[in-house]
Amino acid sequence: MSNVTMKVNGKPVSGDVEGRTLLVDFLRGPLGLTGTHVGCDTSQCGACVVHVNGEAVKACAMFALEAEGAEVRTIEGMAEADGSLGTIQAAFQEHHGLQCGFCTPGMVMSAAALLKDNPKPSEAEIREYLEGNICRCTGYHNIVKAILAASGQDVPAIAAE
Amino acid sequence: MYAFELERPKTLDAAKAALAGDEAQALGGGQTLIPTLKARLASPAKLVSLAAVEGMSGVKAEGDQLVIGGATTHAIVAAEAALTYPGLADLASHIGDPAVRNRGTIGGSLANNDPSACYPAAVLASGATIVTDRRQIAADAFFDGMFTTVLDEGEIITEVRFPVPQAGAYAKFVQPASRFALTGVFVARFSEGVRVAVTGASEEGVFRWTEAETALSGNFAPEAVDGLSVSPDGMIGDLHGTPAYRANLVKVMTKRAVAAAS
Ligand SMILES: Cc1cc2nc3c(=O)[nH]c(=O)nc-3n(C[C@H](O)[C@H](O)[C@H](O)COP(=O)(O)OP(=O)(O)OC[C@H]3O[C@@H](n4cnc5c(N)ncnc54)[C@H](O)[C@@H]3O)c2cc1C
Ligand code: FES
Ligand code: FES
């Protein structure tokens, strides 16, 4: 066991972990932050995406010890200070960007990473950026609409093909 | 995963010392190694993360070469090589997805030598040099068949030195489920001639298509390879494509890469 210390959603945290403890297991276990989901555990689905030092990473494909000293942000850190939904979360609600909601934490974290680098992405750029986030329910159109809306752009009628 | 110790050395000397023991293995971005550990296909006693090793990450120009640290992520190459070697930056910017690019490294990709990985094509087509903690290895001598390289146990890729071509581009036919190359071709045009490297197609891993190199050195245009054909012998056949399909893709992707480079 080794001790690891990091900041999660602005709060300093520490705990004892094994070398093999994944970041996602540290977040969901000892920290109780179960908003970050494990969909596949094989690096394919993106349900576990969190930000480490501002960058989107798959928390199922990084060890907790590798986040020593890092600033980690999870879906729990996306709400406003008063507990109301953040801009991207509210847009997902408004535009029906979720159904079962399993992929949603990863989708929202990926969307936030995209908008940080590219505040007004095109529809094609959004779809390309979400390459590593799989949703089995929505068919993606409403997720794309939600992200366009969250970036303050007009939401075109994207029809199901 | 079986249990192991995880070390995060800060210097190359400390990393070498940590890797000297039996059953120690380097950890790059973990994008290949962590899934491998989860599947219990590897059981190191110790992992040595290279992420914190000083001087092993970054992109710099040295004379007419572009030098990339062995622990540099795909995202950093995509951003920082964009002006000096746009074809290489473009390749890096299309590996996997953004989260994979934020963790996966050039050293990990080359050491792994997946037969469908992208970087091996760039390294071989550019005639790059792989620098390790103990020697320099020419790209032509580095790859040794699927998932195999000439690296010794515990040898660390510290940097990769790319000669920058006059024109160079990568064309990848994406396997949509894995996002690796179903077949990918990198062409690089130097004053001495053109080099063409193919990934994703051969059972031997990345290879140079020498007939196309000769044809393109005479005329750097897509139609220069029209008269050539690639034999399906030794090509990968799986549920995504037959050997004949891949053999055809080699030519198609070569033409697309040349069109993109010219
Ligand atoms: C969803 C997904 C999609 C992907 N898509 C693509 C794609 O389109 N194209 C592509 O090319 N790749 C793709 N990859 C693979 C990705 O690029 C990996 O990052 C890369 O193959 C391995 O790099 P790594 O730094 O993660 O290495 P690791 O997984 O940490 O290590 C891989 C191997 O290399 C060794 N190693 C690591 N660093 C070094 C070093 N500096 N010196 C010596 N040995 C070292 C390790 O011991 C291990 O054996 C994808 C991966 C995933 C999960
Ligand atoms: S749970 Fe991490 S990518 Fe699916
Ligand atoms: S809403 Fe169900 S997986 Fe995306």
Shared-domain flag, residues A34 and A92:
no
Asked if B34 lies within 8 A of A43 by C-beta distance, the reply is: yes
Mention every residue, 6+ apart, whose C-beta is less than 8 A from residue B37: A20, B1, B2, B4, B43, B44
> A130 lies in which domain range?
87-150
B75 contacts in A (CB within 8 Å)? Answer: 55
Phi first, then psi, for residue B16 (nearest 5°) are -60, -45
Domain finish residue from A14, A43, A77:
A77
With beta carbons less than 8 A apart as the criterion, state whether A44 and A134 touch.
Answer: yes
CA distance B125 to B134: 24
Query: Does residue A159 register a pLDDT over 70?
Result: no
Could you tell me the pLDDT band of residue A156, with boundaries at 50, 70 and 90?
A: confident
CA distance B21 to A84: 53
What are the residue ranges of helices labelled H in chain A? 23-28, 87-94, 104-117, 123-129, 141-150
Q: Provide the greatest CA pair distance for chain A.
A: 53
Shared-domain flag, residues A69 and A93:
no
Asked if B35 lies within 8 A of A19 by C-beta distance, the reply is: no
A42, A46, A131: residue with CB nearest B35? A42
Residue A12 forms part of a structural domain:
yes
In this structure, what CATH number is given to the domain that contains residue A135?
A: 1.10.150.120
Shared-domain flag, residues A16 and A67:
yes
Residue A95 forms part of a structural domain:
yes
Residue A160 forms part of a structural domain:
no
Residue A131 forms part of a structural domain:
yes
Residues in A whose CB is inside 8 Å of some CB of B read 2, 18-20, 22, 41-43, 46, 49, 55-58, 60-63, 65-66, 68, 110, 113-114, 129, 131-133
Residue A135 forms part of a structural domain:
yes
Q: How far is A137 from chain B (nearest CA, A)?
A: 18
Residue A123 forms part of a structural domain:
yes
- Stretch A36-42: mean pLDDT, rounded? 96
Shared-domain flag, residues A71 and A8:
yes
Q: How far is A56 from chain B (nearest CA, A)?
A: 5
B102–A contact, CB cutoff 8 A: yes
Shared-domain flag, residues A131 and A95:
yes
pLDDT for the residue A160: 53
Shared-domain flag, residues A95 and A53:
no
In this structure, what CATH number is given to the domain that contains residue A10?
A: 3.10.20.30
CA distance B262 to B247: 23
Shared-domain flag, residues A72 and A100:
no
pLDDT for the residue B22: 82
Residue of B nearest to A22 (CA): B34
Nearest-CA neighbor of B126 among B54, B206, B20? B206
B4–A contact, CB cutoff 8 A: yes
Residue A65 forms part of a structural domain:
yes
Domain finish residue from A24, A49, A77:
A77
- The domain tally of chain A equals 2
Asked if A114 lies within 8 A of B100 by C-beta distance, the reply is: no
pLDDT for the residue A157: 76
Take atom 19 of ligand 1 and give the residue whose Cα is closest.
Answer: B104
Residue A139 forms part of a structural domain:
yes
Shared-domain flag, residues A11 and A39:
yes
Enter the tokens of residue B195: 């080099």
Q: How high is the mean pLDDT in each 10-residue block of chain B (262 residues)?
A: 96 97 94 97 96 96 96 98 97 98 98 97 98 98 96 97 98 93 98 98 97 98 97 96 97 98 90
pLDDT for the residue B230: 96
Shared-domain flag, residues A71 and A131:
no
- The mean pLDDT value of chain A amounts to 96
A42 contacts in B (CB within 8 Å)? Answer: 35, 38
A43, A49, A56: residue with CB nearest B35? A43
Shared-domain flag, residues A61 and A116:
no
Phi first, then psi, for residue B199 (nearest 5°) are -120, 160
Ligand 1 lining (C-beta closer than 6 Å): A 43-44; B 25-33, 50, 70-71, 95-96, 100, 104-105, 107-109, 111-112, 114, 117-119, 156-157, 179-180
- Nearest-atom index, ligand 2, CA of A48: 2
Residue of A nearest to B6 (CA): A19
Take atom 21 of ligand 1 and give the residue whose Cα is closest.
Answer: B109
Shared-domain flag, residues A8 and A57:
yes
- Stretch A8-25: mean pLDDT, rounded? 98
B1, B3, B103: residue with CB nearest A57? B103
Domain finish residue from A77, A103, A136:
A77
Could you read off the pLDDT of A57-69 as tens digits, one per residue? 999 999 999 999 9
Shared-domain flag, residues A13 and A69:
yes
